[in-house]
Structure 1
């Protein structure tokens, strides 16, 4: 890593010194867990407006993966405030998983606004350890903007494959590291990432999640690199698509 990047990382850390001190004292994580859901609920409105066409196109074929009963059993991992509910087809039976119980107030609001879906249960669990969800019990699993904040993406994908029935589909939208390591976007990602991870609950801008998906050995992988039209250009690099077990 260049000296310039290290110096600028230090400058960013100094600017965020109060957060680093609170983190050192063990007070930052509980604070973020309470505040983060409120931020995400607000951010979702902007993100969905900017990504509306992409999301509608991505989720348009979910019904193709319905089970023998013609119903779609759908598990959303890292469901947050329910940002994707409005894009799911009517009658989907939804199970929600999140590690942060403070999302439930915002999740309930989204559920009330999207009564075309059937909500089965909320599971408080980490994405890499969803043992209360049975093997092969879901037709579809959805994760959006989740891989950036999990410590072990391959472990999450292993759980996703365990939970999906054969022929089921995993849908994803993730912001990722810039593919071009010599671009200005990559430069700013490297500079800002340590402080960004602290502020945004472990979210990393530097994950090459496409490699994890390619190595997960799904039978089919439809993956596209796009640039999301977000105001913060350094989180613009995205991957979007679905994979079939």
Structure 2
């Protein structure tokens, strides 16, 4: 315990300027401006490493198309649109993200994925999707989103609200490692600083528990070790849950 506290304090000292900027209220607006640029660069590499997993995960999307045969999809925390290439042709896509600075990168992805019907970008947090009517979408997608939100429970409640009966929530998230592992030890050391660098991203969320405790009629969830260079984010979950 003492060692953990010392290591965490040492890391915080190394990035002390960030903590000072955050204390005076300068870090958050700076991060909101710069973070989308870095994510637009990182996302293609993430897709390369997890291409097979994403392709397999999203291959089931057409099964949830409504009676019209066209899939209505809402992506929360869409970021730069890294998932677009995995969506089926003709899919009607609406995107939300609380950070408006992602829009320029998102529209670039839209232009590169002409097989989709893009229906708009809404600046909104996943905890408050009031612009989206009840029961109006076939599928909600969220990847690498639940790690940084204020309330996973509130987001999943909104997901259930906007999904039609029988619709599905698709997810892929990095999560906390096993609590008895060294990986979890280092996740705890790095988590406070990581949140500043990752715009609120937490390394130690056990997101699978939130999914299990939400009133989905069916939950298909898999734990995997992602082939990431950074061991802190190798533990992942992926799958889908049916309303």
CA distance in 2, matches of 1:169, 1:126: 19
Deviation at 1:10, TM superposition (A): 0.2
CA distance in 2, matches of 1:199, 1:116: 34
Deviation at 1:43, TM superposition (A): 0.5
1:231 is aligned, of 210, 229, 232, to: 229
Other-structure match for 1:188: 186
Other-structure match for 1:138: 137
Deviation at 1:101, TM superposition (A): 0.4
Other-structure match for 1:198: 196
Deviation at 1:88, TM superposition (A): 0.2
Are 2:79 and 1:80 aligned? Answer: yes
**Secondary structure of the corresponding residue to residue 239 of structure 1:** strand
Other-structure match for 1:20: 19
CA distance in 1, matches of 2:49, 2:3: 33
Count of matched residue pairs: 243
CA distance in 2, matches of 1:42, 1:197: 19
Are 2:8 and 1:4 aligned? Answer: no
**Secondary structure of the corresponding residue to residue 231 of structure 1:** coil
Deviation at 1:121, TM superposition (A): 1.1
Compute the TM-score of the two structures, normalised by the length of structure 1. Answer: 0.99
Other-structure match for 1:152: 151
**1:1-245 counterparts in 2 under 5 A?**
2-178=1-177, 180-245=178-243
CA distance in 2, matches of 1:155, 1:85: 25
Deviation at 1:133, TM superposition (A): 0.2
Deviation at 1:199, TM superposition (A): 1.1
**Secondary structure of the corresponding residue to residue 241 of structure 2:** strand
**Secondary structure of the corresponding residue to residue 74 of structure 2:** strand
CA distance in 1, matches of 2:68, 2:44: 34
Unaligned runs of 5+ in 2: none
CA distance in 2, matches of 1:207, 1:93: 31
**Secondary structure of the corresponding residue to residue 43 of structure 1:** helix
Deviation at 1:198, TM superposition (A): 1.1
1:135-192 residue CA offsets vs partner (Å, 9 max, x unmatched):
00000000000000001101000000000000001000000001x2121101110100
**Structure 1 runs of 4+ off > 2 angstroms?**
none
**Secondary structure of the corresponding residue to residue 50 of structure 2:** helix
CA distance in 1, matches of 2:13, 2:153: 33
Compute the TM-score of the two structures, normalised by the length of structure 2. Answer: 0.99
